[in-house]
Chains A and B, each alone.
Chain A
Amino acid sequence: MSVHLNKKTKWRVILIVLMMVLFISCIVATTLGTARVKIGDSLGIVLHQVPIIGKFVELDDVSKNHQAIVKNIRLPRIILSVLVGVSLSVSGTTFQGLFKNPMADPFVIGISSGAALGATLAIVFKLNTTIPFFNTISFFAFLGAAGATFLVYNLAKIKSKIPVTTLLLSGIAVGQFLTAIMSFLMVIFSHDLHKIIFWTLGSFATKGWAEVRLLLLPAAIGWSLLYYFAKDLNIMLLGEESAQHLGIKVERTKGIILLINSFVVAIVVAVSGIIGFVGLIIPHIARLYVGPDHRILIPVAGLTGGIFMLFVDTIARTIISPMEVPVGIITALFGGPFFIYLLRKKKSTL
């Protein structure tokens, strides 16, 4: 019995610590940038935004300029990067569990290629829409992501079943096909090359509260739904047949998880571009520390992903400030060596 209680307590401690680290990182990140804001001021500005608590925070001493920078520019960008980091990591974790494949990531079923093609079309044909919340490129990226997923899903379906191998292979095939079309467009419309490349590398530059509002609700619902299937994912790691023998409706569960992930990731890609690496590696890092149980793995991977994304985006916007480096470059540049270090260090217990 004590083992059981210890485990649950341990899990709670891990989650609380990670949440605190995330909160502190957010506050610290708001102080960094061309304009240096004092940490106390930052904390004040942030808390001022929170209902109820906000009333007790005095902002009289803080310059209006700093208030505007933190409130309108840095804070939404920080929140957005955390949302994206959490979403990609949670999605990667569930995909790796579902496919029982360590190579799976949120983009494995062709979402990224679809989104990239959609964005490219919007850029090269100078398309214009007036969809609320979305800008044009984001909207077409979303359409491309959703379309690619739909296509891959239906290609992989054999008599109401979705065999994992077929799904992964269809994802790769469709992905390559769409990427080829995109490359072709890039060659033809070479004057848009810079813009397309920048979009595909992913960035939070110029993103604000609109994107946060767009992503927040679907992402939060998506995470909760995926967490709802944590136990099922654990059992599905034993193999689909065993899972069915334990009472899980495997095909239905697979379909639901695919659907939720596709929807969340499509929105994420639409607002931030294709940020690789996070959804692949963060789940592995989390697994190294807390093991394969999705009841703890999903939240830990999510929080770690949020912290990591915040960290790399802060670097992306400050390292050669006032210039911006696409965040997708920084994720792999910093994350890659870090992951290899962890892998080597933990090798004996992997």
Chain B
Amino acid sequence: MPIAVELENIIFGYDKERILNDISIDIQSQKFTTIIGPNGSGKSTLLKVISSLISPDNGIVRLDGIDIKNMSQLDIARKVAVVPQENNIEYRFTVQDIVMMGRYPHLGRFQTESIRDYKLVGNALEMTNTIHLKDRYINELSGGEKQRVIIARALAQQPKIILLDEPTSYLDIQHQVEILELLENLNKEEGLTVIAILHDINLAARFSNNMILLKDGTVIGEGNPREVITLENLKNAYEIDMIISKNPYSNSPYVIPLSRMGKGKIIKEEKIHVICGGGTGTDLIQRLTANGYKVTTGVLNIGDSDWKFSQIYDIETIEEAPFTDISDNSYSSNISAIERSGIVILTSIPVGSGNLKNLEAVHYALNAEKRVIFLDQYVNQVKYDYTTGDGEKLIMNIRNNCRENYKSIQELLLNL
């Protein structure tokens, strides 16, 4: 695979602060590569090094094998186009004028634009779906239109490589996807090498062939999205817990960040045992731990989404083998967990024969005069009882006997 950009031992810093710390990477030609990483990790600086806006203190940048030091500003402009993050052009240039500026590196100083230049500009406008704007003034366009015009200008430059610094950060969701799909097309159909910094890890994973994960000026992950988007890498880079699932439509990794306060210090004396399952507990557990409670959960089948979540949050859980009914053994573990806690909370779990024993455990708690709170959100669910009525009966019972029924987590937390 040919290499478009080759970085070798790049070091860059301002005064004593190192921004880029010995970076060596090869970026493949004709691929869609995204650079991700937290703020201040050196993403933009890295892009500026590639576009020769800044020269590194140490190291070599090669474009198509040629050392950038041996290239003039114009040589580079003929090979690399850059789309900056912000494009605040306050001057009344028409869209066509702006895109024509992309021809600058190809034109002599007094050479007027030829028919070919107008054709190339027309193509760029068409590819970016901005041809209808060509006589409009750039300063009168919306953010998404402006960004597309700037990409058109970059295309008129006929580059081999296009660099984009968070091209979608000021756009709303449909325009974000529109811009990325445009880049994907250009990459696939025109063979353009795309190198983009993206804020949104999920969009990055969905669109890129390769990803580079930066932290503190160092590459901590490199490869295809599945290789880069790992729990370990993300935890390392962003210092926050995440859940990685799969985007059901594109099959790319999909990241869900969890509450950053999640694993804060335990500051409350009270222990809370949460009886949940099927994802009905995740939000509540996050909020409770964020508020400093020590939380236990149970009984949960291994693989259940609340179980997964408890694992990530290091929460003590009474577990049961996957797809198995709750055994007497786990039931009694659950009872002893209830005994040890000050409060028992039942979420609106879907009830089946397998977890009926969880409701029985709540009954036990009620009879034992424990403080039991029922997060009653069943109204929202069309069907929750998968038993032949036993579940519904038990729930009705709990609803009548439990003194604290709340409809929302907010309400619950206020009364805790």
A contacts, CB < 8 Å to B? 1, 3-4, 8, 228, 231, 234-235, 237-239, 241-242, 244-249, 291-293
Contacts and interface: CB of A to CB of B under 8 A. Distances in A.
A231 B73 contact: no
Interface in B100-141: 101-102, 104-105, 109, 112-113, 115, 118, 135
A349 to B, nearest CB: 8
The residue in A231, A235, A237, A245 that gathers the most chain B C-beta atoms within 10 A of its C-beta is A245
Contacts of A246: 77, 101-102, 104-105, 157
Contacts of A291: 92-93
A247 B78 contact: yes
Contacts of B104: 231, 235, 246-248
Contacts of B82: 241-242, 245
Interface string B72-92: 111011101110100111011
Nearest to A245: B82
Contact of A292 (B72, B74, B93, B115): B93
Contact of B105 (A3, A247, A293): A247
Contacts of B91: 237, 292
B1 interface: no
Given A3-B135, A245-B53, A237 B105 contact: no
B88 to A, nearest CB: 8
B50 to A, nearest CB: 11
B51 interface: yes
A244 B53 contact: yes
B92 A249 contact: no
Contacts of B89: 237-239
Given A1-B118, A237-B91, A245 B101 contact: no
B96 interface: yes
Contacts of B73: 244, 247-249
B325 interface: no
Contacts, number: 62
A3 B131 CA distance: 14
B84 A4 contact: no
B97 interface: yes
B84 A239 contact: yes
Given A235-B104, A245-B51, A245-B77, A4 B92 contact: no
A231 B157 contact: no
A188 B148 CA distance: 63
9 contacts: A228-B109, A235-B104, A237-B91, A238-B101, A241-B84, A245-B51, A245-B80, A246-B157, A247-B77
Interface string B297-312: 0000000000000000
Nearest to B97: A293
A214 B149 CA distance: 47
Given A237-B89, A247-B78, 13 more contacts: A4-B113, A8-B112, A231-B104, A234-B101, A235-B104, A238-B87, A238-B89, A239-B88, A241-B84, A245-B51, A246-B101, A247-B77, A248-B73
B245 to A, nearest CB: 38
A241, A244, A246: most-surrounded residue (chain B CB, <10 A): A246
A286 to B, nearest CB: 13
Contacts of A239: 84, 88-89
B118 A4 contact: yes
A307 B88 CA distance: 34
A242 B84 contact: yes
Interface in B34-91: 51, 53, 72-74, 76-78, 80-82, 84, 87-89, 91
